[in-house]
Structures are given as C-alpha cells and as structure tokens.
Structure 1
Amino acid sequence: MDILFVRELKVDTRIGIYDWERQVKQTVLIDLDIAGDAGAAARTDKVENTINYQTICQRLVAHIAASEVELVETLAEQIADIVRGEFGATWVQVTVHKPAAVRGTRDVGVRIERGSRLP
C-alpha cells in the first residue's frame, strides 16, 4: 500500500475549552497520512487517478477555518471522516498539532488512525 502525505497544513480556527480560547483564532497544524494505490497515477501521469492532496487540503482548510470545536480530538475525528467519506481513503492517520497551547511546550496535540491499510 502506498501512502500519500501532507505535512503541517496550517489553519487558523477557534478551538479550545477556555473562554479566552473562544475569543481568538489559534493556529493548528495538520499532518495526514493517507493509504491508497499510487500505481495507476504513476502509470498514467494523471491526477484523476489518485487521491488529490490539493483538493483535500482546500476542503480541510474550509472546514477547519469554519469550525469552532473545543477539543483537538473532535477536530481530528472530523478530518478523518472527511478524508475517508469524501475522498474514498480506506485508511488515514491524522495528527492535529496545537502549537504553544501549553506553557513550556512547543507543541501538543493528538494522532488518530481510522480505517484499514489493507485494500
């Protein structure tokens, strides 16, 4: 199985459990690993024969920028649902980073996997 990946998709959104977090937009970074078969795309050199990461990124930016969830876990689950449900991925690993959310750290977040890597 081949893995298509996206690293550090940067989106500003309202996310958090504290009142002050609900007042300002914060930056989240998204990493994706998406299972698929890159063989057809490699043979044909046609984007329509693969999962289009540009289209996925555009969809996720629109969704995340408009969302106002409290937990990174919720956001990660929504992202996995979009990638699997709308783009037909059988497996996805989603990492949501919330930089500087906790004093003294560079980064906190969550990583989830949904689906099966097997076709």
Structure 2
Amino acid sequence: MPEAQIHIKNLRLRTYIGSNESEKNNKQDVVINAWIQYPANHTYNTDNIEHAVNYRTICKAIIAHTENNRFLLLEKLTAELLDLCMQQECVTFAKVEVEKPHALRFADSVSLTLSAIREPQN
C-alpha cells in the first residue's frame, strides 16, 4: 500500500525555550520540520479530501502550541509536537525536528529529532 508523506519544512516560530534567565525572559527563534506519513490509496483513488491528512490543521496546531507555551527543554517541545502529528488515527509514522539557531557558539544551530510509529491494529 503506497504511503503519502507530508513534510512541513522550516516552519520558523518564536517561543520561550531554555533554562537560563535570558531564555526564560525572551522569546527565541525555533525552526520546526515535521514529517507525517499515512496510507495514500484512499486519497488518490477517490480525490476525496475526507481521506487526506489536513496539513493546514496540523501546522496551525504546531504554531499555536509552540507560540503559546514555555519550554525548558527541546525534548519537551519536540515530544509535544510529535504527539500533535500523531493525533489522527490514519497517521502511521511521524518525525519532528526542532532546531534552535545560534544556541551554541560557533555552531549554526542545535536540534533534536523524535519519531513515532503507530503499530497496526489487529
């Protein structure tokens, strides 16, 4: 069965992330990438939007969650965004990367990636 993979690429947002005082008091840039995989056969066979994963809805949820919360760790933000991507039952796999530009001296960025697989229901 063919799998579709949606890629939300380089979503640039600002949020409170980190544990030092400056990070707690000032929003910082984050760059988010998300990959969402689901069976594509119903979608391309019927051209019916009801069978597709709505990437706009997922993107809006990612934006709202990131911008309206505070995080100490990249792990926490990344895990919560991964949960948002896995909410629809038809999603079989998702991966989220959250990048924090300029977090380390002499490095472009630091990032964390988490992924999840939904086991088939028997």
Aligned to 2:114: 112
Aligned to 1:73: 75
Q: Report whether the alignment pairs 1:60 with 2:35.
A: no
Instruction: Report the alpha carbon displacement of residue 93 of structure 1 after superposing the two structures with TM.
Output: 0.7
Counterparts of 1:78 and 1:103 in 2: how far apart (Å)? Answer: 27
Aligned to 1:37: 39
Aligned to 2:52: 50
Counterparts of 1:15 and 1:8 in 2: how far apart (Å)? Answer: 18
Instruction: Report the alpha carbon displacement of residue 81 of structure 1 after superposing the two structures with TM.
Output: 1.0
Aligned pair partner of 1:26 in 15, 20, 28: 28
Instruction: Report the alpha carbon displacement of residue 83 of structure 1 after superposing the two structures with TM.
Output: 1.4
Equivalenced residues, count: 118
Instruction: Report the alpha carbon displacement of residue 45 of structure 1 after superposing the two structures with TM.
Output: 2.6
Q: Which has the higher helix share?
A: 1
**Percent of matched pairs sharing the same residue:** 28
TM-score of the two chains, using structure 2 as the length reference: 0.87
- Structure with greater Cα Rg: 2
Counterparts of 1:103 and 1:109 in 2: how far apart (Å)? Answer: 14
Instruction: Report the alpha carbon displacement of residue 65 of structure 1 after superposing the two structures with TM.
Output: 0.4
How well do the aligned residues superpose, as a CA RMSD in angstroms?
1.7
Query: What per-residue deviation string (whole Å, max 9, x for no partner) do you get for residues 70-96 of structure 1?
Result: 1111111001111112x2322111100
Query: What per-residue deviation string (whole Å, max 9, x for no partner) do you get for residues 2-59 of structure 1?
Result: 3111111111110011110011111111111111022222233333221111110001
2:11 maps to a residue whose letter is L
Q: Which has the higher strand share?
A: 2
Counterparts of 1:5 and 1:48 in 2: how far apart (Å)? Answer: 19
Counterparts of 2:56 and 2:13 in 1: how far apart (Å)? Answer: 14
Structure 2 unmatched ranges of 5 or more: none
TM-score of the two chains, using structure 1 as the length reference: 0.89
